[in-house]
Amino acid sequence: MRTVEYVIPLGENARKRHYHKSRAGKVAAFVVQLEVFDKGEWQVVIRYDSAHGFAHIDHYSRSGRKTKKPIDLELTEALTVAEEDIKDNWKAYQKAFWKDR
């Protein structure tokens, strides 16, 4: 099984964390999340992952709320969607996180 992990700075106080395992070219597990630096530590704002045996997205609020939404895609496709969504929308997710008190 092949494992890929990296962190990419996106802008001031924001970064993307990527992790996935693949076998024979198919994704077996993944996590892609947007993190912002808040209150002296990195906080997750949005996380796409395959924990619990299915692809889903978790949205986190600054006040501590979390919502989970399943993604009806194969893991390889869900990983691609996660990468593109965070790349294209990280500023909007960060802004919404900061507005939540």
Map out the domains of the chain as residue ranges. Answer: 2-99
DSSP H helices in 3-100: 75-99
Which two three-digit tokens encode residue 97? 């996180």
pLDDT in tens, 22-64: 999 899 999 999 999 988 999 999 999 999 889 999 999 888 8
What's the pTM value of the predicted model, to 2 decimals? Answer: 0.91
Query: Do the Cβ atoms of 32 and 81 come closer than 8 Å?
Result: no
